[in-house]
Amino acid sequence: MMDDKALTELLQTAKTIAIVGASNTPGRASLGVSRFLQRMGYRVIPVNPNETEVLGERAYPSVRDIPEQVDIVDIFRRPARVPEVVEQALEKGTRCIWMQEGVINEQAKRQAEAGGIPVVMDRCILKEISRLLP
């Protein structure tokens, strides 16, 4: 688990965040978090095969399809779907895997860490930014 110092450094230096499970559906946590991240100055890249665009950004069907480097892959998916996302993030050389509140998959966490990628699990990135960044 990343400590507050490491989380703060990550959140201060990250520029691009892929939101896996991003949706245009009002009331969805992924939409609210994506909007918050955009307002905080992050580049948000939606990942959802059922969307073409979210909040003015082109959506991609998978992390693998994103044509640029991503600092954080933030996952809003069922825990059983996380290993596939982690595998793609490992291929891309992502700096961090972030599993939102309620998204817990120990196998995927071990897989990411074995590949050299730190993991934040079962925590909300919006809440952590609000807590750690002035």
Give which of 19, 67, 22, 15 is closest to 42, Cα–Cα.
15
Bridge-based pairing of strands 119-120 and 96-99 is parallel
pLDDT of 81 reads 96
Residue 47 confidence class, pLDDT cut points 50, 70, 90: very high
- Average pLDDT, integer, range 13-39: 97
Q: Answer whether residue 39 shows pLDDT above 80.
A: yes
How does pLDDT run across 89-107, given as a tens digit for each residue?
Answer: 999 999 999 999 999 999 9
- Read off the pTM: 0.96
Topology annotation, domain 4-132? Rossmann fold (3.40.50)
Determine contact, residues 86/62, Cβ cutoff 8 Å: no
Quick one: CA torsion of 57, 12, 78, 88, rounded to 10 degrees?
A: 70
Q: Answer whether residue 2 shows pLDDT above 90.
A: no
Give which of 42, 65, 44, 70 is closest to 56, Cα–Cα.
44
Bridge-based pairing of strands 53-54 and 119-120 is unpaired
Cα–Cα distance between 29 and 55 in angstroms, integer? 14
Residue 50 confidence class, pLDDT cut points 50, 70, 90: very high
Determine contact, residues 22/53, Cβ cutoff 8 Å: no
Residue 27, token pair as written in the block = 């009331």
Q: Answer whether residue 19 shows pLDDT above 80.
A: yes
Collect all residues with Cβ–Cβ distance below 8 Å to 115 and sequence separation of at least 6. 86, 90
pLDDT of 59 reads 98
Residue 123 confidence class, pLDDT cut points 50, 70, 90: very high
Average pLDDT score, the chain? 96
How does pLDDT run across 28-37, given as a tens digit for each residue?
Answer: 999 999 999 9
